[in-house]
Amino acid sequence: MSLFSLEGKIALVTGSGQGIGLALAEGLSEAGAHVVLNGRDKAKLERAAEAMSAAGRKVSVAPFDVTDHAAVEAGVATIEAEIGPIDILINNAGMQMRAPITEFPIEGWHQVMATNLHSVFYVTQAVTKRMLPRKRGKVISIGSVMSELGRATIIPYTASKGAVKMMTRGLAAELGKHNIQANAIGPGYFTTEINKALIADEAFTAWVCNRTPAGRWGETKELVGAAIFLSSAASDYVNGHLLMVDGGLTAVV
């Protein structure tokens, strides 16, 4: 299983104080990586880090706002100076807002784009310019089934996740010759804090279960295998790929 080992690797996971980001961070740490938790809430990150450390995991925290370009550059520089070179980046920070296009607040559009798209560019730029001289690295961004499908009332979200898919392909084209692989994971409907209201909606949950061949919501732990694969030597010849983890949703009509 050495192909999937992350021993000796340092992984930065953005938006990892809870939900999918925390699940991925825990999974990478179990595979041997020293994980750096990131988010804006330092106290939340420290609670998560304490739990991981108590389980014998290698973990650090790096609280900074991924939507602030200057903060990203400073934060990544600090990680590299104080913890070590970042081998794996998981761009996970994200948000959702819902409203019809005719009523969607313009400030909401900018907020969704800053969190879901601009942050991916900022953090990837800061990390990959340090990966380039080392001639190695893994960049994994969290897309969505909405990278491929449209849905009413979440147009900014679908636009941002479609852009993440195409940024991933552009990164693969540009960085592949430097032994840096850029891929993405496309989650389907998962039981996370961001989906709390939808999960509580019986009609919507019934729709998810009927629409998804697996017949249920996904659990965050079911994203870990894909993240380990794309972070490890097992994926050294995989580049520019969007790996759907959606219970089969995008494969059927």
Task: Give the pLDDT confidence score for residue 194 in this predicted structure.
Answer: 79
Task: Give the pLDDT confidence score for residue 154 in this predicted structure.
Answer: 96
pLDDT tens-digit profile, the chain (253 residues): 899 999 999 999 999 999 999 999 999 999 999 999 999 999 999 999 999 999 999 999 999 999 999 999 999 999 999 999 999 999 999 999 999 999 999 999 999 999 999 999 999 999 999 999 999 999 999 999 999 999 999 999 999 999 999 999 999 999 999 999 999 999 999 999 878 889 999 999 999 999 999 999 999 999 999 999 999 999 999 999 999 999 999 999 9
- Whether 112 maps to a domain, the answer reads yes
Handedness of CA 99, 100, 105, 110 (dihedral sign): positive
- Whether 205 maps to a domain, the answer reads no
Q: What is the pTM of this model?
A: 0.97
Catalytic: which of 122, 157, 189, 237?
Answer: 157
Task: Give the pLDDT confidence score for residue 193 in this predicted structure.
Answer: 83
- Whether 17 maps to a domain, the answer reads yes
Look up the domain containing 136 and give its range. Answer: 2-191+219-248
- Whether 214 maps to a domain, the answer reads no
- Whether 210 maps to a domain, the answer reads no
- Whether 208 maps to a domain, the answer reads no
Q: What is the tally of structural domains in the chain? A: 1
- Whether 42 maps to a domain, the answer reads yes
- Whether 212 maps to a domain, the answer reads no
Active site residue 157: yes
CATH number at residue 90: 3.40.50.720
